[in-house]
Amino acid sequence: STIVLLFEAPKNFQFDIVAGQTIKVGESLGHI
């Protein structure tokens, strides 16, 4: 199963993740 988030955010939004990493509920996905 898969969760897909599609969202609008300010242009200076930066992801804090890398493809392939494992992640847990509540960990930061990105910052503005």
Binding site for other proteins (CB under 8 A): 1-11, 13, 15-32
Tell me the two tokens of residue 18: 């890398």
Q: What are the two backbone dihedrals, phi and then psi, of residue 14, each rounded to the nearest 5 degrees?
A: -125, 135
> C-beta of 13: minimal distance to other proteins in Å?
6
12-16-21-27 Cα dihedral, nearest 10 degrees: -120
> C-beta of 12: minimal distance to other proteins in Å?
9
> C-beta of 25: minimal distance to other proteins in Å?
4
